[in-house]
Chains A and B, each alone.
Chain A
């Protein structure tokens, strides 16, 4: 299968490459934050400094940003009953258990949207669609205009306070090209972050939702994947989530239309040249090897040269 970037985008194309993504399963996240550290280490991102954030529970990072491409959110929903004031009053154990089982962790990341508002807003072609259908920002092309920042419905993109350029998760594009999984997924001890071929991941995730629902977790659902064609968040999220609470609990929007997608002609025509320049160096052929069980692993089969294909025509995009 060959990747299919929307025709309105600057994209790297490559025979055999498939759409890759993240499935982040909050039901097994233990709030370990290894993803945050592994991301910073691999991508050489600085610490944001850091002060204790009142009300943030154990989340002192606060939000995704130019130097924070993974962010673990801690949602305290602990609602203890008032203390029984009678001596040794009977306790409703089921209720007590339910009360205490409510500290939820969720590792947030760039969604690598099918309809990526940031790309539509980018006038320079710094934001491109890779052969893995991920959205990557080329720092050397970015002019720091910042249009992409309000264009992201998830508040993912941020401007580097030092050099003014935008920055966000690349889904470890460099690692993918070498057949490795992204640093955060590699570091996750419970496989709360799973990486793989997008379509496989969606299947895995749908089975997981069903399994949880069988187990009585009725609230489990997928955020950003598995919806009907006309009902997808941003056309479907390359990085999607299993949630057990409404999205707003995790700071995620219930709807994800980019403001810019309301009435635009994407600003990318001007960027064709820049995209060409960036993509010219990318010329290896890939194939995705699918192991028997679900999540895919990238295997570099050959380094045969292949032309990166740049598409840059202007078209109205399919919108939800």
Chain B
């Protein structure tokens, strides 16, 4: 609203006309799951009309870089890129490399990574200089590849796929182009509507390509903002709750020979060029933080004792393993998979397959009560006495009852103090983990068994305080910041970290947050907002890295270091002082002049980054329009239909959905077939302002429940009329997985769309309800199947198919898979659920 008040034009793309749409200048209804087609159309538009920011694109992106001749596009191969193996449904990305690229090691390391952020590995792929054609005419230069890749994404095609009328498409294109360039910038903000798709990473990539073509990255008012689904989701990947990452986006070592020693791990994770050449400093400092004095150069700082990945241990493979037998139990903290994860029936079946389950929450959520009040219990399909899972419910403190930090989308860390003590036995996560670890350490004390080394030698210096024996979160933040091992003094930032064991640091990207012994995240000084650049407010909280508010902000100046325009001035080269300066902390070596050129042979480390190459985390210093590595499903975003769709793929009829998506093909996870007339409607899930995720935090609150009292489905009046559904009446939504009932909200805010010559109706379901709490209702997740994006293992919740009918469901049961035959956890491709045996050979293709 503030941006709009200042004259910004807000365009809202969403299948639903919701409250955001009501507060926007233009709402664009779209068929759920087709965002890449819309972006492809916009990318094509800016290329065909030559309206991209030429100087920016030429200097700051890899548009001019030449790709090797083995690369073949989806346009050449009918919907897959070169390197595709239909047997394993995986890609060998070696043919996506730059010309002359040294591919073997990088590709080999990357193959089994399941996360996309390790662009560091891709950065080491070239030994010599990067081959470029500055005229952008070479047929294999990235810009020409882009042109060909998106040539068929015409406005007419966008309309045919997305249901966005051509005139509306032109309106979006006109607005974005008019608001980009030297004088203006456009920001893309996405919420969870972009992530939970089988091509979610590529959707965001498509947005990134458009933003790069228009020069909207690294500049004020530009960028891509993720409006997260929870507080500090950003923080929980920075210091990850993900199995494949260590703090600060260091990858989890893999159980393969090439990573058994620290030197090998550094060699595979680090990079010859660019910022990741500092990789060794960060991992050694992390090991020093964890193992303290016991971590020495002689024992590889304890690296050998870190767990090694043997397969896909993400949420879904783990749950499948519980269904099929082989998982004893799990800790569930701040999560509620019984109703919060897709295919709720299958998730509850997984919970029933465990021997024990620890649930930490501040109320008794469905994941703790599934054994006595889940729909299949009420229907009599499962008897509580037959559920052997022993559930331990541990009361948790709420966010106002504990201190800690939130990291938001701008990577800004904001400390919050404890407002009041938690009631009764409720305790913070910090308390729980501290005391749990103490008990574990007591059990292992004195052990000389080598496998116990990491527990016996764990550096665990926290001191509980007060009557609750609560550790100080401040101590944890100090450790995250890093310190000089000899003096214990906080380091001023990651520049001071060393690979010789003289520094310890819990998360290198956060280093500096405690510089000078002050908790910078606690700062709350907005500064003089009316001063020149005062709106950057560097003393409000602290942003990683190095309190930098905009990443890659060297790109806010032209190649010579001058601001692109007075209006969009941000960081620039001060020739007199011989340094970069501006409103923000420059994201560039502060004294490297714009005219600096990398050595002829390409150079090493940061020397390889020229003075006009702002993207210092990339080995070539350029932003990647085309991703030669780092992604598991292709170097360019391509329109694929969702796994469930009423329509075939008009661009690639042979392919349909993302060919590298992860599927779990099993009887208890059936998929609605494409075009199956039983499932004619598009199903999408969404959130309400009034509730939070599956309701654990909100459905126990009468004040919130009265604002959104019941589970409902939003449908358009045409669909309602066709099915005899009345506004406020009951309807049943069904899929192969199950059927749920909900109240109907029949509204013109939902619009039927014209897609491929026919009308399609979309059904929108909030996923906040479940079977416990003060307000109960059927869970939308019982309708969903499990499939996932290959890069990040994120599920599919935004684009599926279903049907609706008037009335109520005939039985308390909502899931059809309660007694379906189990599957062997047959994750296709190389993502086996973790088996009883492990070893480097198992992870091989």
Contact = CB atoms under 8 A, between A and B. Distances in A.
B771 interface: no
Given A55-B727, A88-B754, A47 B705 contact: yes
A149 B166 CA distance: 55
A66 to B, nearest CB: 14
A103 B709 contact: no
A52 B728 contact: yes
A41 B703 CA distance: 8
B21 interface: yes
Given A30-B19, A33-B689, A36-B707, A88 B747 contact: no
A245 to B, nearest CB: 13
A97 B2 CA distance: 21
A51 B22 contact: no
Given A78-B747, A103-B749, A33 B23 contact: no
A52 B709 contact: yes
A28 B160 CA distance: 35
How many chain A residues sit at the interface, stated as a range, is: 35 or more
B160 to A, nearest CB: 8
B706 A49 contact: yes
B5 interface: yes
A48 interface: yes
Contacts of A103: 17, 19, 21-22, 749
Contacts of B17: 78, 100, 103
A60 B712 CA distance: 12
A40 B706 CA distance: 12
Contact of B22 (A55, A61, A97, A104): A104
Interface string B161-185: 0000111101100000000000000
B712 A96 contact: no
B429 interface: no
User: Which residue, A47, A84, A87, has most C-beta atoms of chain B within 10 A?
Assistant: A47
A162 interface: no
Contacts of A227: none
Nearest to B21: A100
A103 B165 CA distance: 22
Contacts of A52: 709-710, 712, 728, 743, 745
B25 A101 contact: yes
B273 interface: no
Nearest to A59: B707
B752 interface: yes
Contacts of B171: 93, 97
Contacts of B757: 87
B702 interface: yes
A100 B27 contact: yes
A202 B23 CA distance: 24
Interface in B1-53: 1-2, 5, 17, 19, 21-27
Interface string A150-192: 0000000000000000000000000000000000000000100
Interface string A104-139: 110000000000000000000000000000000000
Interface in A66-109: 76, 78-80, 83-84, 87-88, 90-93, 96-97, 100-105
B227 interface: no
A247 to B, nearest CB: 20
A79 B706 contact: no
Nearest to B727: A54
B281 interface: no
A41 B26 CA distance: 35
Given A54-B728, A55-B728, A100-B17, A78 B706 contact: no
Contacts of B26: 97, 100
Interface in B721-735: 726-729
A291 interface: no
A103 B747 CA distance: 11
Nearest to A40: B703
Contacts of A79: 748
B515 interface: no
A97 B165 CA distance: 12
A88 B156 contact: yes
User: Which residue, A36, A87, A90, A100, has most C-beta atoms of chain B within 10 A?
Assistant: A100
A31 interface: yes
Given A31-B22, A97-B25, A103-B19, A50 B706 contact: yes
Given A78-B17, A84-B754, A96 B702 contact: no
Interface string B630-658: 00000000000000000000000000000
B22 A37 contact: no
A281 interface: no
Contacts of B689: 31-33
A57 interface: yes
Interface string B576-619: 00000000000000000000000000000000000000000000
B690 interface: yes
Nearest to B689: A32
Nearest to B27: A100
Given A87-B757, A90-B167, A93-B167, A60 B707 contact: yes
A190 B689 CA distance: 15
B719 to A, nearest CB: 12
B299 interface: no
Contacts of A46: 702
A259 to B, nearest CB: 31
Interface string B750-765: 0110100101000000
Contacts of B166: 88, 90-91
Nearest to A62: B706
A31 B1 CA distance: 12
A250 interface: no
Contacts of A53: 728
Contacts of B447: none
Contacts of A100: 17, 21, 26-27
A188 to B, nearest CB: 11
A147 interface: no
A102 to B, nearest CB: 8
Closest 7 CB pairs between A and B?
A: A54-B728, A47-B702, A50-B706, A103-B22, A50-B709, A91-B165, A78-B748
28 contacts: A28-B5, A30-B22, A30-B23, A31-B22, A37-B703, A41-B703, A49-B709, A52-B709, A52-B728, A55-B727, A55-B728, A57-B747, A60-B709, A61-B707, A78-B747, A78-B748, A83-B754, A88-B156, A88-B754, A90-B165, A90-B167, A92-B167, A93-B168, A97-B25, A97-B26, A101-B24, A101-B27, A190-B2
Given A50-B705, A97-B27, 5 more contacts: A52-B709, A55-B727, A97-B26, A100-B21, A101-B27
